[in-house]
């Protein structure tokens, strides 16, 4: 009888399965209809090729293509679909056309890592048997449906990494079987429902990276099975519930990047199973309890960037599993317990505290130590010799202490080390050849010590080195010529030593050098003319040495230098007139030399020059007629032979002629001069009025030429117009789309590599019939050909032909700021680079508004128009909507710019002023700090007292919170940005005031303060 029953069951199953294949079941129909609304993320892929069904096939053929054999589809024993897993299938689409009610047996529904968008339909609750729901890593928007709480069998709910908003539904508390909840990386707000404490089966909660506020519910104490509690990067406030200490199953707790306050509960010491505890970047205060030393399974403890005080508990010596300890940026004092030297550290970071005493002798016990950070404390004594053989080191910071030791005995060879900072200690001895054997070392900071002897030539083998700081030591001897081989050197600081001899010409090979400081030494001979080849130099300081000879005219090639200090030397002869080519120069100090002759008249074109000191030379003659000389005091000019000009303390400039003009001659001049002027002006306008008003000198030192060629080709270029036109057309294959890298309002941009090896960006302009305002690109040509600033994109030429008209720019491989902030590389844009970008834009706008005549308004300052080079140096671009202001005419015009950056007054008036750019700059600063456009937050900030603004609410969470000193810098810049976005344009500062304020903010910041913790 049993055999008969089994036979009947198998027969029934066989008949049902045959019907499922032979017919067109509702489940199959629903899947195929849904598939028809989906498409592949790439045009080359066929979406779900196995999802086909032909009812005309015979039974055996149909079984081969059965839905149960489709990609991602699994069926139960009766042929009904119980699992649908399309994770990582490259799908674009929505759930709007999914008939959930036709899948009564579906238990597992997985669509993660695709590009699904739109809302999560409330009808998903029809999947009444669902156990596992994973819609993570898509683009879903809207809210989490309240009806999700009807999925009473749900064990796992993964909705992370989407764009879901709203609050966490209280209805989720109905999911009594729920074990895993992951809603992280969305835009959720509101508080954590206290009723989650009812879900006694929960083993993990991920709510991180949202905007959730309020307190951590004490009700979570009921979750006895909870192992992972991850709530970081939200707006949580209040205290850490002491009840968490009762959740003895906890293995990982991450509460960093919130606004939690109060003390760290001593009850956490009862968590015997916990291996990861992260509480950094909050507002925690009080002492670190000795009870935390009871967490014997703990391997990572990170509680930095709070307001903790007291000493480091000696009980930490009981944490035998501890490998990472981060206590940085607190107010800790006392000494480091010696017992900590017995632990097998991977990371030990106590930077920016008040810890005193000495370092444990065995700090590298176990030879696993990778990061050692003890900077900016009050440590004394010798640096442990155990570090000599600690080959695991990758990053070391001792700066800002009073540590001693012989540098040649303390440090050995470290194959993985990439950064070391010993600045401002009392280390002595000689630099050994071992440092050249650290082949990954990119930064050596050893300034402010007592290091003596000469610099080993072997350092020249460290071709990967980017920063070398040996300033404020007792070094002697010459600068090794081998340093010229360090091709990637960006910063070289050797000031305040006792170096002698000549500066090797080989330093001119350092083409990536940005800052060179050799001041306060005994260097002699001539200043090397080869330094003119260091085209990326921003700052050059050779002051307080014994240099003789002339100032090399080749320094005029340094078009990016903003600070040039050659003071306190014995330089002779005249100031080279070619220095006017240093178009970015802001500070020039040539004082206390033996210079003679007159101040070059060419200095009148140096509109960016803000400060100049020519005192104590042998200069004579009139002062140039430029703004910097109008604002000078006598202190910057005293001690010269015979200078004259409109400065208090100097004699007035003599008139050029003392011969009186007779009335008869006056009448002739009144008649003839206007006629002659009109004739000359008319001739000049006939040649130049359409495209260019004056020639421009480019970095190549060639003048821009304006030429009319055969075949109606007109060019303004440093190149041969015909040749460059033909080459660009050829190399882009008649402007094939394959070379196009962007499309703007005035044209398309192409990347072109020329035969010379240079790469340029070519903007091909739309035909005149497509251009909304033909004057736009004429303005662009005029503006760019006279702008000379290191933070403004360079124009190399212009070609006009009946078939093609295009502008030739420098190509910046870093791309736009918008692309970087919106992409994955944003996390590599650290606070150093972001502040430098802000500074660069401010300087550029200040130059345009206050140093160009007539003034230039950009009108479209936004992140898409800020370009970066490979080193993240800023260039302001796209003057297609620029407006050259004429002080004597109306400036009423049509609105232009990018939505979200436009000044509010443009909504009711079309008058464009410099204050419109100031507003856009303020928005841009907020975007750079926050990592995304601030949106509606602008209105709130503009009406909020600066004392109420919290940096923690505004910083980009993708990078680590800044150290204290840079936090102060960012806060100052943030307050400045808030003034810029004031709705009243009269209240906004000018860009000159903004740039001066930023310069003042950064003036007293240490050169290495921007080094951010890599937690």
Average pLDDT over residues 342-350: 93
Q: Which of 329, 541, 860, 1008 is catalytic?
A: 860
User: Is the per-residue pLDDT at 185 higher than 80?
Assistant: yes
DSSP run (H or E) holding 523 = strand 522-526
Higher pLDDT, 129 or 634: 129
- Give the position of tokens 């370092």: 359
Q: How far apart are CA 937 and CA 893, in angstroms?
A: 28
Query: Could you tell me which of 143, 139, 181 has the C-alpha nearest to residue 163?
Result: 139
| pLDDT for position 484 | 94
In degrees, rounded to 5, the angle at the alpha carbon of residue 770 between the alpha carbons of residues 767 and 775 is: 80
Name the DSSP letter for residue 511: T
Query: Could you tell me which of 759, 738, 742, 770 has the C-alpha nearest to residue 810?
Result: 759
Task: Tell me phi and psi for residue 930, to 5 degrees.
Answer: -80, -25
Instruction: State how far Cα 976 lies from the chain centre.
Output: 19
Query: Could you tell me which of 424, 417, 416 has the C-alpha nearest to residue 398?
Result: 424
Q: How far apart are CA 377 and CA 335, in angstroms?
A: 10
SS3 state at 977: helix
| Sign of the four-CA dihedral 896, 902, 908, 910 | negative
Tokens encoding 85: 């897993």
pLDDT in tens, 913-941: 889 999 999 999 999 999 888 887 887 77
Query: Could you tell me which of 954, 807, 793 has the C-alpha nearest to residue 876?
Result: 793
Say if strands 856-857 and 815-816 run parallel, antiparallel, or are unpaired.
Answer: unpaired
pTM confidence score: 0.66
> Could you give the dihedral angle defined by the CA atoms of residues 531, 535, 538 and 544, in that order, rounded to the nearest 10 degrees?
10
| pLDDT for position 772 | 47
Q: How far apart are CA 828 and CA 831, in angstroms?
A: 9
The answer to whether residues 109 and 86 touch, using CB atoms and an 8 Å cutoff, is: no
- Give the position of tokens 């501890």: 322
Residues 6+ apart with CB under 8 A from 816: 863, 864, 865, 866, 867, 868
The answer to whether residues 263 and 288 touch, using CB atoms and an 8 Å cutoff, is: no
Q: Name the percent of the chain lying above pLDDT 70.
A: 82
Q: How far apart are CA 791 and CA 847, in angstroms?
A: 10
Q: How far apart are CA 506 and CA 512, in angstroms?
A: 13
Provide the angle, in degrees to the nearest 10, between the axes of the packed helices 831-850 and 914-930. Answer: 180
DSSP run (H or E) holding 134 = strand 132-134
pLDDT in tens, 679-727: 333 333 332 332 322 323 333 333 344 555 555 555 555 556 677 888 8
Higher pLDDT, 630 or 379: 379
Domains of the chain: 14-190 (3.80.10.10), 705-810 (3.30.200.20), 821-1003 (1.10.510.10)
| pLDDT for position 855 | 78
| pLDDT for position 795 | 77
Name the DSSP letter for residue 873: -
The answer to whether residues 752 and 762 touch, using CB atoms and an 8 Å cutoff, is: yes
Residues 6+ apart with CB under 8 A from 266: 242, 245, 289, 291, 292
The per-residue DSSP string of 219-273 comes to GGGG-TT--EEE--SSEEEEEPPGGGGG-TT--EEE--SSEEEEPPPGGGGG-TT
Starting at the edge strand found earlier in the chain, the sheet holding 705-708 runs 705-708, 714-717, 795-800, 805-810, 759-765, 747-753, 740-743
Would you call 917 a catalytic residue per the annotation?
A: no
Half-sphere exposure of 509 (CA within 13 A, CB side): 12
The answer to whether residues 558 and 579 touch, using CB atoms and an 8 Å cutoff, is: no
pLDDT confidence tier of residue 856, bands split at 50, 70 and 90 = confident
Average pLDDT over residues 148-172: 95
pLDDT in tens, 862-915: 998 898 887 778 888 876 445 444 444 444 444 456 778 888 877 666 678 889
Average pLDDT over residues 847-855: 78
* Most distant CA pair in the chain, distance: 141
Beta-ladder partners of 451: 429
User: Is the per-residue pLDDT at 454 higher than 60?
Assistant: yes
The per-residue DSSP string of 660-710 comes to PPPHHHHHHHHHHHHHHHHHHHHHHHHHHTTT-SS--B-TT-PBPEEEE-S
User: Is the per-residue pLDDT at 524 higher than 60?
Assistant: yes
Query: Could you tell me which of 704, 731, 867, 703 has the C-alpha nearest to residue 797?
Result: 704
Starting at the edge strand found earlier in the chain, the sheet holding 815-816 runs 815-816, 866-868, 874-876
Half-sphere exposure of 998 (CA within 13 A, CB side): 25
Range from 76-80, 384-388, 445-449, 748-752 that averages highest in pLDDT: 445-449
SS3 state at 598: strand
Average pLDDT over residues 538-547: 94
User: Is the per-residue pLDDT at 128 higher than 90?
Assistant: yes
SS3 state at 143: strand
Q: How far apart are CA 327 and CA 374, in angstroms?
A: 10
Judge if the upstream peptide bond of residue 854 is cis by omega within 30 degrees of 0.
yes
| pLDDT for position 63 | 54
pLDDT-wise least confident of 316-330, 494-508, 669-683 = 669-683
| pLDDT for position 656 | 39
pLDDT confidence tier of residue 626, bands split at 50, 70 and 90 = confident
What is the Cα gyration radius of the chain? 35
SS3 state at 919: helix
pLDDT in tens, 731-783: 888 888 778 887 766 678 888 888 877 888 888 876 643 444 555 555 666 65
The per-residue DSSP string of 408-419 comes to HHH----SS--E
User: Is the per-residue pLDDT at 119 higher than 70?
Assistant: yes
Q: How far apart are CA 367 and CA 83, in angstroms?
A: 49
pLDDT mean across residues, the chain: 83
pLDDT confidence tier of residue 1015, bands split at 50, 70 and 90 = very low
DSSP run (H or E) holding 717 = strand 714-717
pLDDT confidence tier of residue 824, bands split at 50, 70 and 90 = low
Tokens encoding 488: 């990637």
Q: How far apart are CA 422 and CA 408, in angstroms?
A: 13
User: Is the per-residue pLDDT at 1014 higher than 60?
Assistant: no
User: Is the per-residue pLDDT at 238 higher than 50?
Assistant: yes
Q: How far apart are CA 396 and CA 418, in angstroms?
A: 9
The answer to whether residues 975 and 926 touch, using CB atoms and an 8 Å cutoff, is: no
pLDDT in tens, 283-317: 999 999 999 999 999 999 999 999 999 999 999 99
Tokens encoding 789: 């600033």
pLDDT confidence tier of residue 785, bands split at 50, 70 and 90 = low
Tokens encoding 569: 């030397």
User: Is the per-residue pLDDT at 457 higher than 90?
Assistant: yes
Average pLDDT over residues 398-425: 93
Tokens encoding 404: 């001693």
Query: Could you tell me which of 200, 301, 188 has the C-alpha nearest to residue 255?
Result: 301
Task: Tell me phi and psi for residue 510, to 5 degrees.
Answer: -85, 80
| pLDDT for position 901 | 84
| pLDDT for position 699 | 33
| pLDDT for position 779 | 60
Average pLDDT over residues 627-643: 86
The per-residue DSSP string of 797-840 comes to EEEE-SS-EEEEEE--TTEEHHHHHTSGGGGGS-HHHHHHHHHH
Range from 233-247, 622-636, 868-882 that averages highest in pLDDT: 233-247
Tokens encoding 675: 């006629």
Q: Residue 320: how many CB atoms within 10 A of its CB?
A: 12
pLDDT in tens, 556-587: 999 889 899 999 999 999 999 889 888 889 89
Query: Could you tell me which of 901, 929, 934, 967 has the C-alpha nearest to residue 829?
Result: 929
Average pLDDT over residues 782-786: 62
Higher pLDDT, 740 or 146: 146
């Amino acid at each position: 009888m049993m055999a008969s029953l089994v036979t009947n069951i198998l027969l029934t199953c066989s008949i049902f399965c045959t019907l499922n294949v032979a017919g067109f079941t509702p489940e199959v129909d629903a899947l195929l209809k849904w598939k028809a609304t989906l498409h592949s993320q790439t045009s080359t892929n066929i979406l779900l090729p196995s999802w086909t069904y032909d009812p005309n096939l015979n039974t055996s053929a149909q079984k081969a293509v059965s839905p149960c054999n489709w990609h991602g589809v699994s069926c139960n024993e009766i042929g009904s679909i119980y699992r649908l897993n399309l994770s990582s299938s490259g799908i674009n689409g929505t759930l709007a056309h999914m008939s959930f009610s036709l899948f009564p047996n579906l238990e597992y529904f997985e669509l993660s890592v695709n590009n699904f968008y739109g809302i999560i339909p409330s009808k998903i609750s029809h999947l009444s048997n669902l156990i596992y729901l994973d819609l993570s890593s898509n683009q879903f928007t809207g809210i989490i449906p309240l009806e999700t709480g009807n999925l009473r069998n749900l064990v796992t709910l993964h909705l992370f990494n989407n764009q879901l908003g709203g609050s966490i539904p209280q209805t989720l508390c109905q999911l009594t079987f729920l074990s895993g909840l992951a809603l992280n990386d969305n835009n959720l707000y509101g508080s954590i429902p206290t009723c989650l404490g009812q879900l006694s089966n929960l083993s993990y909660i991920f709510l991180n990276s949202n905007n959730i506020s309020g307190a951590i519910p004490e009700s979570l104490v009921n979750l006895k099975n909870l192992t992972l509690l991850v709530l970081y990067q939200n707006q949580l406030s209040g205290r850490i519930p002491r009840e968490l200490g009762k959740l003895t199953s906890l293995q990982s707790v991450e509460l960093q990047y919130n606004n939690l306050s109060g003390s760290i509960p001593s009850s956490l010491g009862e968590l015997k199973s916990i291996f990861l505890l992260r509480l950094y970047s909050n507002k925690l205060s009080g002492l670190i309890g000795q009870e935390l030393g009871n967490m014997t399974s703990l391997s990572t403890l990170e509680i930095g960037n709070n307001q903790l005080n007291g000493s480091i508990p000696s009980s930490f010596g009981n944490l035998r599993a501890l490998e990472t300890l981060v206590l940085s940026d607190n107010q800790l004092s006392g000494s480091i317990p010696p017992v900590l030297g017995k632990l097998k550290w991977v990371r030990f970071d106590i930077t920016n505290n008040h810890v005193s005493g000495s370092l444990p002798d065995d700090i590298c016990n176990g030879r696993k130590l990778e990061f050692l950070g003890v900077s900016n404390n009050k440590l004394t004594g010798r640096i442990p010799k155990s570090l000599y053989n600690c080959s695991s080191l990758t990053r070391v910071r001792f700066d800002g202490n009073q540590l001693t030791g012989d540098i040649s005995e303390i440090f050995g060879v470290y194959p993985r080390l990439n950064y070391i900072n010993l600045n401002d200690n009392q280390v002595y001895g000689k630099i050994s050849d071992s440092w050249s054997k650290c082949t990954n070392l990119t930064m050596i900071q050893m300034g402010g010590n007592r290091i003596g002897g000469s610099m080993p030539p072997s350092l020249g083998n460290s071709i990967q080195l980017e920063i070398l700081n040996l300033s404020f030591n007792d070094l002697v001897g010459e600068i090794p010529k081998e340093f010229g081989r360090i091709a990637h050197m960006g910063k070289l600081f050797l000031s305040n030593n006792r170096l002698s001899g000549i500066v090797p010409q080989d330093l001119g090979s350092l083409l990536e050098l940005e800052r060179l400081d050799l001041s306060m030494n005994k260097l002699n001979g001539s200043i090397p003319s080869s330094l003119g080849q260091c085209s990326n130099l921003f700052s050059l300081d050779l002051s307080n040495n014994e240099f003789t000879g002339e100032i090399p005219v080749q320094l005029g090639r340094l078009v990016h230098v903003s600070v040039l200090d050659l003071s306190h030397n014995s330089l002779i002869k005249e100031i080279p007139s070619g220095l006017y080519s240093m178009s970015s120069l802001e500070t020039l100090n040539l004082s206390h030399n033996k210079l003679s002759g007159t101040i070059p008249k060419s200095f009148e074109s140096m509109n960016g020059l803000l400060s100049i000191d020519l005192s104590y030379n042998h200069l004579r003659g009139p002062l140039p007629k430029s703004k910097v000389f109008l604002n000078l005091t006598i202190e910057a000019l005293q001690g010269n032979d015979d200078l004259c000009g409109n400065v208090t303390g100097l004699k007035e400039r003599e008139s050029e002629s003392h011969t009186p003009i007779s009335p008869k001659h006056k009448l002739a001049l009144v008649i003839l001069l206007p006629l002659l002027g009109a004739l000359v002006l008319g001739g000049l306008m006939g040649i130049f009025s359409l495209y260019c008003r004056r020639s421009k000198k480019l970095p190549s030192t060639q003048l821009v030429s304006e030429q009319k060629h055969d075949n109606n080709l007109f060019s303004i270029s440093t190149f041969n117009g015909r040749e460059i036109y033909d080459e660009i057309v050829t190399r882009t294959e008649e402007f094939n789309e394959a070379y196009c890298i962007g499309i703007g309002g005035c044209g398309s941009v192409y990347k072109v590599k020329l035969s010379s090896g240079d790469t340029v960006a070519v903007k091909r302009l739309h035909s005149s019939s497509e251009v909304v305002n033909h004057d736009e690109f004429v303005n662009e040509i005029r503006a760019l050909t006279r702008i000379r600033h290191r933070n403004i994109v360079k124009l190399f030429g212009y070609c006009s032909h009946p078939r093609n008209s295009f502008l030739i720019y420098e190509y910046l491989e870093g791309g736009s700021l918008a692309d970087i902030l919106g992409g994955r590389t944003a996390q590599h844009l650290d606070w150093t680079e972001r502040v430098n970008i802000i500074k660069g834009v401010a300087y550029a706008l200040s130059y345009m508004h206050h140093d160009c005549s007539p003034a230039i308004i950009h009108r479209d300052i936004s992140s898409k128009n800020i370009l970066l080079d490979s080193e993240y140096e800023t260039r302001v671009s796209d003057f297609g909507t620029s407006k050259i202001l004429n002080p004597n005419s109306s400036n009423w015009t049509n609105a232009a710019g990018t939505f979200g950056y436009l000044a509010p007054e443009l909504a009711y008036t079309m008058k464009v002023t410099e204050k419109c750019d100031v507003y856009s700059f303020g928005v841009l600063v907020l975007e750079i700090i926050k990592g995304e456009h601030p949106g509606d937050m602008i209105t709130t900030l503009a009406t909020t007292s600066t004392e109420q603004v919290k940096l923690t609410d505004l910083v980009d969470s993708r990078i680590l919170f800044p150290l204290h000193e840079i936090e102060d810098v960012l806060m100052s810049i943030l307050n400045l940005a808030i003034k810029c976005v004031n709705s009243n344009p009269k209240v906004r500062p000018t860009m000159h005031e903004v740039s001066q304020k930023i310069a003042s903010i950064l003036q007293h910041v240490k050169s290495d303060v921007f080094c951010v913790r890599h937690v």
